[in-house]
Structure 1
């Protein structure tokens, strides 16, 4: 937490890199001249400090750049990666920043150069903000856009550019997020997808992140016909990674979770009966995840997918090293994966890792020929038209993940419930005053 705030001071001292072709650091419409001076106020979820969020009022966003689109939000959600912000472990989050990187809504106003969307269109936003024109965007690697994040520390740490991301700190450009009633979408022609009438918001919303992230994890890691796949993390992305692994031809999929999240194993198995599960908090005495997987799959799985994240330390050494700022992420899950899979297997990392991890078993990686693949933030725009068609053809049903429908006013309680992995809460649909009535199959409204 202290390191995160220190990073803000360093960034201000060093200055931005001036590579962005869009106005960055519009993280709160009450700052500067980024909100409308008069007229209605909007509600938005803002970070107020470690483990603290509030729904506050602020000015309505306005068009800042010519390609901006102002979207009236009809649905948003909370993601496991939002908890990294909640905990204060993502660098350069500032008090008052608007959170949320997954949202859908209706276009209200467009900038003068916008051509693909118009007022009244139903749309979903991609969480990575792309320009559509740079070298990486031309290759559809939109999450590595070179022109939407001019943060100097990000570039220095990673040695390359990453795209801006909605609601995910100044480390990723400082863009206000979508857990709000309105949101400014830069480069709206690139970062918004129109939703057809036969796809309700409760399904279309999840094209913004979870569906594309899970699909990218599976195809980028190279799950093939006949593979045995092990997946760490039974949240919504892990759930969809199970489904996509089977659709890519995997013969067996084994899902690993435990502790407060162990209930999710049974939840997902009820949706996908052929799934196999391992509860790490209920292993036989003397057994480990590695030994269990070797018993279940002689020689070990062909593919391992990390859908959990690096901030959750299991052992005391990593717990204190993270606490003292000696590392940002634990290597424990990565080491489990390396020792669990067969030689020359493939490992994909989709769970968020911010920076550095100690005690990484690089020897086992090299000596056994493991292919370690950082999947990166998903290039949503590469996949979302294909995934939209899968939804329309009923080949995937995002509502299989959705267990709750709550109001924007309840975001503080929702973050707390998500933090404790409240039993029965998998994926949530967050409504605003502009939301449509619940679609068929959507959960009824719950008051938290």
Structure 2
């Protein structure tokens, strides 16, 4: 792979010192960052392609720690979680390999176009999701939607998850990794959780599941199983450094301490949690306890958008608004949640999440010469640009996206696939899936 350099960009490294380089240059060779620093101190190797980064900011690619691919955008609306889930399940009752492939392809395209370079996707027929990721070049973590309780046979099986590990884990030069995926305590038996813990140890893969998303859900778990959600997951032996829990809106102080003590990570999905009336997760307390917290979109079916720029802004604002504290979750903390914290939650912090020598070149280049980011004042503390990256920037500013040093987005357009074709195919498949769900609507059942 030919090397390249991006010169004269405002570089936000998100390294351990949050170093900002107002006039920086970054060099990539063989898909790896080999130099990053002030332009005056970097020597660009002979033969490298040189890209002019003037008027641009260079960041680590954004990381979506919890998503569900879907073609069901804007269909199940105005419902709290426990009412919404029976309708959402119709998508999985109607799901086919073809629907899954087009769902993933569309969502991965949207993710890339909004600056996301790595997605944790929990979905169905994930061998086809892997096909979609390979086409677009996106880095993905695949966690099949496993459920094995009676009546939940429309989700993935434990055997499917095992096969996917053997067939796809660490494929595409490591861009595709497979996790043990567990839907929910009401969907999975104790055997499923204990097997996930065992396979995690045997294969060195992660475990991903949902936890404590809504107050009513937490009450139902306690009534049905005799323990709160986190205590049940702890009892089943899945908490630990390889485990990522989505949501965790209703954790109490003792539970937050337990998450921290076990090294378990959390995927915070503020937009979805607000949209489904689930509540506001105690993120400042989680971070203060030492919990690794990344950001997730939760997918288009309960968010409508896959933009982590929206997620970053809302994650900060919802804490400020509900706590009446304008200092809650400042921009530097939020940017880390969307990058290096996300990488750490996915077990990838040694590979991606910051712009440091030796890490893979997962890069996001933003055009600053747009009305929404003007005027720009950049210094070694970030200036006003640091704040505007979180509170003003958006997908319209995305000028370039690279994964493993390969450019996947060039001024908004995908380089490896025909984006218009992906969208046209998804339109056709999406309407067919909607109709299949309507025909099954009489079969919906409650979550419990």
TM-score under structure 1 normalisation? 0.25
Greater share of helix: 2
Larger RCO (alpha carbons 8 Å, 6+ apart): 2
TM-score under structure 2 normalisation? 0.25
